[in-house]
Structure 1
């Protein structure tokens, strides 16, 4: 919560319990004007947000009581009880709502570059398989984050309308519920010029059914250190995609239900039952081989990987005829992503020879990786999964790598520790971010990402392996995973 909000809440919490004799020593007009002025100051400086409605309401009630010289707890015990319950409820919601859903501050980027963003609408010739419309072709919106030269541009609002509305629809909330995010200050400026020079290109892929650009804390920091990040919004796979004509294409739940069906559920259930009975790594591998190769996640991984290649196909054109002209170093392409997007990063590293290195951030690596191996530099960053969450990535990557393979685990983190969700929702048991401080998780993650790509895209000296000495929250190893003996083919 912000300072004025806390001051206002403290005063209205104490005021109803002050004795009448004490209040008489202070002119009621002074208290009324102070409260009214404090609310006005809050609205001017902080801005209105719906989380403060219980606070506004209780303030109005208290001002009215002062004006009428009407003690809040006057009357018989029934009246006192009713008013007491009402007061407790208003105070409970008054304190809880702005705390749980705060106007948060994004981490300040530490790199030397300012950050700009623009959108590119990619229209492909590939059929759109996720709709039944005849002739429908795959279209993507790409948010381009880049090092910028500023000339009085304004910072953008946190999340565009497509991300906000679709996130509300996902959770059955009013579409305007996230309007308060206009108050959140980003460090990304609207359409400034790209900084002088060529920059390495990182393609970022989001998690399934998540906000495509809900990763400001990570991406702003990375861009500030001299990378261009192409943030793909996988149409029908994110919560929603906003197109230039104002249309928002939401997550295609119908297609998802048809593909991620009862057969898939039974496949996962049976595999996990057998997995839990297995007594050796070799037996465990046999129980999940078919699951990793053929589960619905493998289809998603292939589809996301295809989108990544569609973007790479356009880089040459964008490097000559868009605001990015002559700023893309297309010889230095990396890919990273979170959750399903992390799996896509691993898959794209296999599928597309133009990608030099990749990072999977807490994604289960479904698909054909189980029958092959990595041949390019790769990092798997994991949250600290609990014992009930089987680590199938051990088996997905069982063939190891002929190149450098890093395995990083951030202790006490959760699956959403790599998103902005822990900032938006300030309750760990809801935001699934573990017990690590969100800013510490971002700091560790961005350091891994930057050190890794600095080394393998820019040939810079890297202290990647030393990060585990710097951060006690990090377990980091570099290895080629040994092939398990007697595995099936």
Structure 2
């Protein structure tokens, strides 16, 4: 499913590197002067009624007092505290359970290694007192499809430790498995097409960002909300969350004092900023543009706008991938993930086979010695099945494979020759290799450190009026490239 392909990839990660300096707890320790605390808040968004994902089946997932079935969200507010801890609360349970369920599908893994995930602890404390007599700039944060804010704590805790309050927005049915105050876990909906994302999902994310922005200006009933410096607010979003945050910034030019996108969604084309003065930073993984080379992506930068690429060389396209922005960048060094990646590398090394039946021919007994894709035509529709040795077939939606529908429809009705099949083979091969497009081959710890360096320095510059380290347009780290506005890159 699209949301699974975009964000929940832990059981199928392929990059395989083992840094010598991996953290003992597999999460980055924040290095700022403050400790990190959090509190969870459950809100009902009255501007989205009913929730587009409401149905008779999902109706049981709504709060009893939510009679109109308005959209609901959980917000984790991270804030500075004087209390510091090496190991705090357990890592977000819905993430752990989801990851373990995925890893259990891999028979090559040991149960002991999978169970190790249950012992993960974050560097946060729940409901610890906030630092008194101070106000802190505010950052609204939202992840991609299937990605809870808690999946980005390597980045969030570093920001908070440097004196920021971060509101992690989790939209029910969209941002992965989300736990309600009653401990019930709500699963994301299955998204079957990019069209549904742009018309149904993205507006909800934008609505939640706007709702949270307005709500923090109206609520002041706790020390945490009183400590928010509402004159200095920024937005950060990853993937579709990045596109949603950027769209809101375009609609409300005076809301944010700074904006950062992390591998911002590009299926709708290049983003065009409406503001000529809002400081922006787009951070992209090394492979992002190559992954969508058919889009001819361009980043329009105004003054005080920057494009940062996570790679030591523009030629090194595989140094970082889409999921290096998440905690998986460092969690990948857990034994369970290392074993899973090694297993999948061996599987990919086998290659894949493809059988196409375009005229309703019967499919005989299949000899499956390595991964196999079977494409058949039934009347006017195409069916795609995926096989592995010793496993049942899995049906794949044609909408999941970019460009396949168009390529199949262009096939001649005569018997196909090898040259006519070549475009289909290339598309299937690219799809089969897709699992390698989420974590790069670079050191995940160093990648995370670089992202944090740029985030903290960027927000210190434009939310705290500190010295601008970007004015000479030089990379801050030796594993990044930078372009500076104004200009189109």
- With structure 1 as the length reference, what TM-score do the two structures score? 0.63
Superposition deviation, residue 114 in structure 1: 0.8
Q: What corresponds to 2:38 in structure 1?
A: 117
Describe the superposition over 1:71-100 as per-residue Cα deviations: whole angstroms up to 9, x where unpaired: xxxxxxxxxxxxxxxxxxxxxxxxxxxx9x
Counterpart check, 1:423 vs 2:330 = yes
Question: Are the counterparts in 1 of residues 310 and 479 from structure 2 also a CA contact under 8 Å?
Answer: yes
Superposition deviation, residue 367 in structure 1: 4.9
1:217 is paired with a residue whose SS is helix
Describe the superposition over 1:115-174 as per-residue Cα deviations: whole angstroms up to 9, x where unpaired: 111101112212111112482111110111110133999821112x23333445567769
Q: 1:391 to 1:310 in 2, by over 3 A?
A: farther
Counterpart check, 1:348 vs 2:242 = no
Question: Are the counterparts in 2 of residues 298 and 367 from structure 1 also a CA contact under 8 Å?
Answer: no
Describe the superposition over 1:355-383 as per-residue Cα deviations: whole angstroms up to 9, x where unpaired: 22111111224559756644311111011
1:203 is paired with a residue whose SS is strand
Among candidates 188, 192, 203, match of residue 302 of structure 1: 203
Alignment of structure 1 residues 34-433 onto 2, 5 Å: 104-125=25-46, 126-127=48-49, 128-132=51-55, 133=59, 135-150=68-83, 155-159=88-92, 161-168=93-100, 180-196=116-132, 197-253=134-190, 256-257=191-192, 260=193, 264=195, 296-297=197-198, 299-318=200-219, 320-352=220-252, 353-365=254-266, 367=268, 370=271, 373-375=274-276, 376-385=278-287, 388-391=290-293, 395=297, 397=299, 400-411=300-311, 412-426=319-333, 427=338, 432-433=438-439
1:156 is paired with a residue whose SS is coil
- Paired residues in the alignment total 344
Q: What corresponds to 2:450 in structure 1?
A: 444
Describe the superposition over 1:250-286 as per-residue Cα deviations: whole angstroms up to 9, x where unpaired: 0111xx22xx17xx5xxxxxxxxxxxxxxxxxxxxxx
Describe the superposition over 1:276-326 as per-residue Cα deviations: whole angstroms up to 9, x where unpaired: xxxxxxxxxxxxxxxxxxx844653333222111111110233x1134142
Using the TM superposition, name which of 359-368 and 138-147 deviates more: 359-368
Structure 1: where are the runs of 5+ without partners?
A: 1-98, 265-294, 484-489
Question: Are the counterparts in 1 of residues 210 and 248 from structure 2 also a CA contact under 8 Å?
Answer: yes
Q: 1:243 to 1:461 in 2, by over 3 A?
A: same
2:138 is paired with a residue whose SS is strand
Q: What corresponds to 1:481 in structure 2?
A: 487
Question: Are the counterparts in 1 of residues 141 and 149 from structure 2 also a CA contact under 8 Å?
Answer: no
Distance 1:390 1:147 in 2: 38
Q: What corresponds to 2:356 in structure 1?
A: none
1:313 is paired with a residue whose SS is helix
Superposition deviation, residue 481 in structure 1: 3.1
2:226 is paired with a residue whose SS is coil
Structure 2: where are the runs of 5+ without partners?
A: 1-19, 60-66, 312-318, 346-434
Q: 1:417 to 1:182 in 2, by over 3 A?
A: same
1:232 is paired with a residue whose SS is strand
Q: 1:131 to 1:476 in 2, by over 3 A?
A: same
Q: Which has the higher helix share?
A: 1
2:80 is paired with a residue whose SS is strand
Distance 1:370 1:106 in 2: 32
- With structure 2 as the length reference, what TM-score do the two structures score? 0.63
Using the TM superposition, name which of 420-429 and 335-344 deviates more: 420-429
**Higher relative CO (CA 8 A, sep ≥ 6), structure 1 or 2?**
2
Using the TM superposition, name which of 174-183 and 209-218 deviates more: 174-183
